[in-house]
């Protein structure tokens, strides 16, 4: 069941417009930004490294699209 849902997500993202793909891939980044702004949370060293790695991963994904 997990394989089927993962495969359908990959196929859907492969056929989706670029704007939708970017929005889905950056949803966790928006959660970090909103937590900083609305909840006044500070980014620790690991959270900042994770955010940077996420952005790099998104850029790599879009570069090979």
Per-residue pLDDT of the chain (65 residues; tens, 9 = 90+): 677 788 887 787 777 787 777 777 788 888 888 988 999 998 889 988 888 888 888 888 778 76
Domain spans, the chain: 17-63
Taking every pair of C-alpha atoms in the chain, what is the biggest distance, in angstroms?
Answer: 39
pLDDT, residue 20, reads: 76
pLDDT, residue 65, reads: 66
User: Phi-psi category of 28—alpha, beta or left, where left has phi over 0 and alpha has psi -120 to 50?
Assistant: alpha
pLDDT, residue 4, reads: 77
């Amino acid at each position: 069941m997990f394989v089927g849902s993962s495969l359908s997500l990959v196929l859907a993202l492969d056929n989706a417009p670029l704007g939708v793909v970017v929005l889905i891939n950056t949803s966790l980044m928006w959660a970090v930004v909103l937590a900083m702004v609305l909840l006044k949370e500070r980014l620790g060293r690991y959270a900042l490294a994770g955010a940077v790695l996420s952005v790099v991963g998104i850029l790599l994904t879009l570069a090979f699209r």
